[in-house]
Amino acid sequence: MTTADPAGRPRQPPAGSTLPVTPPGRHTAPEALLAELWEDHLRSPYPPGFRGVNVEGVELILVDADVAGLVSGELAGGLDGNGVALLRACIADLDKVVPLIKDEYCAGYFARLLAMARHAAARHIPKAT
């Protein structure tokens, strides 16, 4: 997640990071950020040449479809326990494969997918008491 420095400017991710940075002027509240990532994802075509590609046992198009359905469900009212479990499994798969993807567009596409999945899952982490 992008944070701000003491002057309120967005901090940049570490060098080499492929996670998206929230552009200045865009909402950064967690609920708004998930919706914005989702909108960006809907506008982005699936990486050409990566249909049917399997990386380390993960079918990229299937994890894309799973995360898309789960994020859509989260935005529409929330996930049940099974949905949260599947989302966490998708996060584990994406954590494994994103660093292995060498195509720049494809790596960015799946890094955004991972960021969306993490934001959706974060809503289901119990608050500390």
Q: Which of 59, 43, 48 is nearest to 96 (CA)?
A: 59
What was the pLDDT predicted at 25?
A: 46
**Element spanning 54, H or E:** strand 54-55
CA distances from 14 to 7, 85, 89 (A): 19, 29, 25
Q: Residue 22 in contact with residue 28, Cβ under 8 Å?
A: yes
Inter-helix orientation angle 30-43/104-122, to 10°:
150
Q: Tell me the whole-structure pTM to 2 decimals.
A: 0.73
Taking a C-beta distance cutoff of 8 angstroms, is the pair 59, 50 a contact? no
Where does the pLDDT of residue 122 fall: very low under 50, low under 70, confident under 90, or very high at 90 and above?
Answer: confident
Of residues 13, 20, 10, 61, the one with CA closest to residue 40: 20
Domain residue ranges in the chain = 30-122
What is the tens place of the pLDDT at every residue in 27-45?
456 667 888 989 999 999 9
Predicted pLDDT at 109: 95
Confidence band of 12 (pLDDT split at 50, 70, 90) = very low
**Alpha carbon distance 20, 31 (integer Å):** 16
Tens digit of each residue's pLDDT (9 = 90 or more) over 55-111: 999 999 999 999 999 999 988 888 888 999 999 999 999 999 999 999 999 999 999
Q: What does the pLDDT read at residue 123?
A: 78
